[in-house]
Amino acid sequence: MALEKNSKSLDSEQEKSQNEEVLRRDLTNLENKTEIESQSLEVSKENDNGFQDFGFNQSILNSLRNKGYKNPTPIQKAAIPELMLGRDLLGQAQTGTGKTAAFALPLIEKLADNKELNAKVLVMTPTRELATQVAESFKSYSSESSNFKTVAIYGGTDYRNQISALKRKVDVVVGTPGRIMDHIRQGTFKIKDINCLVLDEADEMLNMGFLEDIEWIIDQLPDNKQMVLFSATMPSEIRNIAKKYLNDPAEILIKSVKKETQLISQKFLYVQRHHKLDALKRILELNNEGVIIFVRTKLLTTSIAEALENSGHTVAVLNGDIPQNQRENTVDRLKKGFINILVATDVAARGLDVERIKLVVNYDFPFDKETYTHRIGRTGRAGRSGEAILFVNQREKHFLRNLENSTRTKIEEINIPSNKIINEKRMEKLIENVNESFIAKDENEALIIDLIDNLKEKHSMDDSNIAMSAINLVIGNKAFFVNEDDSWIHKQNNTDRNRSNRNGNNRMKNSNRRNNYQNDSFETYKFNFGKFDGVRVANIISSICNSTNINGRSIGKIQIFNDYSLVDLPRDLHRETKNKLKKIKVRN
Ligand code: AMP
């Protein structure tokens, strides 16, 4: 009954705006797919009725009011009516779009009068953090609904509390695949009444190797359940799962318009305290135009600036001791490019807005999430892209994990640039400079031609002798290539990220180890299949192992690009193995 009333009032409202018409077309199933462009959390403003039009009971509306939600986000507008009608749903949306409420609210509404003891809804998430968050969301949206119970079950914690919670009345169970399987097998999670299954962040579950587990769980659940699948990306594996298990699903795609922080590629590297300055200098070898380095103390700003100046960089300092007018002058010089690098404390750099900042280095770990977000926001200004690198020592590992959780971003690990990388970069720059000098400076052309003729006639030099001398002049007296001992870098880089308690999943640990492992015993092979072919790390490993005698453990880093993949394999492979590699097929 509630549902019928609902869709009628929704219909009359929808005639009012163009935007809503799209939704109505979708509801009547003329077009099965809704595409919405959205800022991460943009609530629709054209409809002041907020959540009331969905026909939610008063308890839900009260809890939404308590939470301060006034209007639904685009994904909520599109998904809630579908789920209220009991349809299956395939949604492509990132976190931050309001997708949790999009599935939680209609499910809570449907369970409003549930008197059963056993759970009716199961939500599967890839990590325990997400399981906790989703369970918390269910709890808060149902906080005004009497006797509504949500239980979270995930690995890495004691079974006893979970078992006793599952014994009492429960409406929704949120959990990670491994622990859900354990409880089903032990009979401590009664699934016979489950009539709705939500797969949240399905692509992440697949990346973590949970496909088999998910399929096993789906097979145990009763037939004819409502299925909801949310995924940030839609690779072919996810589409296949959708095809296999979802019944005529409504499809919703939220195309998120990138926010400024999303234009910033966030990275971290492991470095011991006494190697930080060396690591910084190496980072600046790759990027030294428009950089802010954040440090914790005023004293450090000056000592680091001095060290960088001695290495030939143009640097300035911004700290609380520097008078306001001097600070303004510094920022101005940075904007104009007279200074390339700024070493700053957090307070001094507050609100700094310089478009040419391409890189933010978190030399010292930020005190909290807000400081981190503020720091990295100094790059990626005005729609440009930027990079942020965070220095992490062994003791700060758990801060890193907390930071990732609280900012809900995955910070990618990178290595400190080795001699090889730096030398390649220096070479690249030199070639670029030589090439640019060839085209520029018309006014000197006659003079240079005279000079070359002179060198050829009087000094019997040929073209390559002249080029060699000119390049030597550019390089100067200093050694062009770095060749100092860089073995310490490999030691830092080989540190296992040890993020096992993220989800207790061994496959994840292995893949991290694979990414961190980098040394000279590897050679990089290029294969002509990539993301467009639906290829994943696991496919590549299994194909290589099945077609050659290479052991999975000896495969190094694997990088999958759109139409090719790079795989680090042991150096000096036998010719026969190399021939086999040439012929390998992945996913046929
Ligand atoms: P999610 O994408 O589900 O992780 O949600 C992102 C954030 O948006 C969470 O902090 C939610 O509490 C919040 N949120 C979800 N829906 C709304 C809404 N309609 N109005 C305001 N905040 C919301």
Query: Which residue among 73, 97, 123 is best mutated to probe the pocket of ligand 1, counting the most ligand atoms within 8 A of its Cβ?
Result: 73
Distance CA 268, CA 387 (A): 10
Our answer on whether the CB atom of 207 is closer than 6 Å to any ligand 1 atom is: no
User: Is the shortest distance between the CB of 256 and ligand 1 below 6 Å?
Assistant: no
Nearest CA to 194 out of 214, 173, 168, 175 is that of 173
Closest protein CA for atom 16 of ligand 1: 98
Q: Is 461 in the pocket of ligand 1 (CB under 6 A)?
A: no
CA distance linking residue 185 with residue 162, whole number of Å? 14
Pick the CATH number of 13-254 from 3.40.50.1100, 3.40.30.10, 1.10.10.10, 3.40.50.300: 3.40.50.300
Sequence ranges of the domains in the chain: 13-254, 260-415, 420-475, 508-582
Q: Are 134 and 125 in contact (CB under 8 A)?
A: yes
Direct distance between the N- and C-terminal alpha carbons of the chain, in angstroms, rounded to an integer:
51
**142: Cβ below 6 Å to ligand 1?**
no
- Does residue 231's CB lie within 6 angstroms of at least one atom of ligand 1? no
Question: Is the CB of residue 47 below 6 angstroms from any atom belonging to ligand 1?
Answer: no
- State the average pLDDT for the chain: 82
pLDDT digits (tens, 9 = 90+) for 493-502: 544 443 333 3
Hey, what CATH class is 260-415 in? alpha beta
Answer for the pair 245, 211: CB distance below 8 angstroms, yes or no: no
- Report d(CA 11, CA 588) in Å as an integer: 48
From 69, 80, 201, give the residue whose CB has the most ligand 1 atoms within 8 Å, as the site to mutate: 69
Whose C-alpha lies nearest to ligand 1, atom 19?
A: 72
User: Nearest-5° angle of CA 408, CA 411, CA 412?
Assistant: 145
Burial of 526 (0-12, 13-18, 19+ CB in 10 A): exposed
Ligand 1 atom showing the smallest separation from residue 137 Cα: 12
The CA 36 to ligand 1 mean position distance, Å, reads 17
For atom 11 of ligand 1, the residue with the nearest CA is: 98
Residue with the nearest Cα to atom 20 of ligand 1? 69
Q: Is 358 in the pocket of ligand 1 (CB under 6 A)?
A: no
Question: Same CATH fold, 260-415 and 13-254?
Answer: yes
- Please give the Cα distance from 534 to 203 (Å, whole number): 12
Closest-lying ligand 1 atom to the alpha carbon of residue 93: 2
Atom of ligand 1 nearest to the CA of 70: 20
Residue 405 CB coordination number (10 Å): 16
Categorise residue 68: left if φ over 0, alpha if ψ from -120 to 50, beta otherwise: left
Q: How far is the CA of 202 from the centre of ligand 1 (A)?
A: 19
Which ligand 1 atom is nearest residue 408's CA? 4
Task: Walk along the chain (588 residues) and give the pLDDT tens digit of each residue.
Answer: 333 333 333 333 333 333 332 233 333 333 456 666 655 455 544 444 589 999 999 999 999 999 999 899 999 999 999 999 999 999 998 777 889 999 999 999 999 988 889 999 999 998 877 898 899 999 999 999 989 999 999 987 889 999 999 999 999 999 999 999 999 999 999 999 999 999 999 988 887 788 989 999 999 999 999 999 999 888 888 999 999 999 999 999 886 544 545 678 999 999 999 999 999 999 999 998 899 999 999 999 999 999 999 999 999 999 888 887 888 889 899 999 999 999 999 877 876 778 889 999 999 999 888 789 889 988 877 667 789 999 999 888 889 988 998 888 889 999 999 999 999 999 988 888 887 777 656 677 788 888 899 999 998 889 888 888 888 888 887 778 888 888 888 766 544 443 333 333 333 334 443 443 445 577 888 898 888 888 888 788 878 877 887 777 678 888 888 888 898 888 778 888 888 898 888 776
Compute CA distances 28 → 22, 81, 82, 110, 213, whole Å.
10, 11, 10, 21, 35
Distance 130 CA to ligand 1 centre (A): 14
Give me ligand 1 centre to Cα 102, in Å.
9
Element containing residue 386 per DSSP (H, E)? strand 386-392
Q: Per the structure block, which two tokens stand in for 360?
A: 């933010």
> Within 10 A of 562 (CB to CB), how many other CB atoms are there?
9
The verdict on the CB of residue 41 being under 6 Å from ligand 1 is yes
For ligand 1, atom 14, name the residue with the nearest CA.
98
- CATH number among 3.30.70, 3.40.50, 1.20.1300, 2.60.40, domain 508-582: 3.30.70
**Gap between the Cα atoms of 258 and 67, Å rounded:** 26
Whether 288 is in the pocket of ligand 1, judged by its Cβ within 6 Å, is no
Nearest CA to ligand 1 atom 13: 98
Which of 36, 42, 66, 100 most suits a substitution to test ligand 1, by most atoms within 8 Å of the C-beta? 100
Which pLDDT belongs to residue 333?
93
